[in-house]
Copies of this chain bind each other. A is one copy, B any other.
Amino acid sequence: MKKFVNDPQQFVPEMLQGLALANPDTLKYVPEHNLIARADAPVAGKVSIVQGSGSGHEPAHVMAVGRGMLDAACPGDVFAAPPMDYVYETAKLMASDAGVLLLVNNYTGDRMAFDMGREMAEAEGIKVAVLLIDDDVAVKDSSFTVGRRGVAGNFFVIKAVAAAAERGASLEELVELGKRVNSVTRTMGLALTSCTPPAKGSPLFELGEDEYELGVGIHGEPGRSREKMADANTLVANLLDPVVSDLPFSSGDEVALMVNGLGGTPISELYLVYGIAHRRLADAGITVAKNYVGEYCTSLDMAGASITLVKLDDEIKGLLEAPAEIGLRIF
């Protein structure tokens, strides 16, 4: 295994220590519950926004904590949901007078952990709600999910509800807003290679030298089909067209377009993909008003990418443009 890792069991805590050391003024790390939070959270009068999931999808979600984004992230081990009592402890620590919104990508393990964590928190009188994200158009019902999976599109739900929370929206309003953003967000991904969890030390699945997995899940689980390797134009068409036809997005729409790398694909290729997708949308009369190119939700070291579209209106656009600061940054 060619990775920067000491004890694989300590991979996640060591990453979180590094993240907290890199952001001493803005983030706090609570090792007892494997939790990263804004240093100033909970903020009185503001709903706290929390997301958790298995690790291995960084920057989601621990590096998306900060003002105008998550108040806390509650990660599990690599590709494993966090324990329900960590969810409960996170909700307790983040409980403001305005309440706590738990965002959950739709995977069965995560839903269980967050639903039970929510019940435990509610039993103590904490105002808490769970919002599911299920943007992946690839498959309905899969290895680890009933219904559609929640993948990179969660970025837009986080950004929108977090911006609205900063502006004073109530827990009930945020749930409605989050559902609305999720309902206009669609994603599909493809894997060019497998990925290697530190504790396994070998690739999670096999993929032939001339094959890719279309519609792959963010844990490498099967998608729609195993396809023969093709050029970038074909790969992008095979990702984008099912996304466009699903909502559907149509001529005259204004959208946000995200090209998300899965961990092992260089940013050069992601911009090449962006250019193809942007032009293909323009040809269909769809205008890209906001764009996002880089790594937002990964699968360890997997080579591959996903494409997300969000149908914009003035409210959603304004929320996406609101200021935010997170642990991950360039300068």
CA distance A305 to B21 in the complex (A): 19
CA distance A320 to B294 in the complex (A): 23
Given A265-B4, A266-B263, check contact A271 B18 (CB 8 Å).
yes
Report yes or no: B331 in contact with A58, Cβ–Cβ below 8 A: no
From A3, A263, A274, A291, residue with most partner B Cβ within 10 Å: A3
CA distance A233 to B4 in the complex (A): 8
CA distance A293 to B305 in the complex (A): 21
Residues of B within 8 A of A330 (CB): 292, 294, 326, 328-330
Q: Chain A interface residue count: which class?
A: 35 or more
- Please tell me if A65 contacts chain B, counting CB pairs below 8 Å: no
Report yes or no: A269 in contact with B235, Cβ–Cβ below 8 A: no
Shortest beta-carbon distance from A75 to chain B in Å: 10
Which one, B19, B232, B324, B329, contacts A4 given CB within 8 A? B232
Given A273-B18, A328-B294, check contact A300 B56 (CB 8 Å).
no
- Please tell me if A52 contacts chain B, counting CB pairs below 8 Å: no
CA distance A298 to B19 in the complex (A): 21
- Please tell me if A136 contacts chain B, counting CB pairs below 8 Å: no
Output the nearest chain B residue to A296 by Cβ-Cβ distance: B330
User: For chain A residues 277-331, which have a beta carbon within 8 Å of chain B?
Assistant: 278-279, 291-295, 298, 300-301, 303, 305, 320, 324, 326, 328-331
Report yes or no: A267 in contact with B298, Cβ–Cβ below 8 A: yes
Report yes or no: B235 in contact with A274, Cβ–Cβ below 8 A: no
- Please tell me if A32 contacts chain B, counting CB pairs below 8 Å: no
Shortest beta-carbon distance from A22 to chain B in Å: 5
A residues near B (Cβ < 8 Å) are 2-6, 11, 14-19, 21-22, 55-56, 58-59, 63, 159, 192-193, 209, 212, 229, 231-233, 235-236, 263-276, 278-279, 291-295, 298, 300-301, 303, 305, 320, 324, 326, 328-331
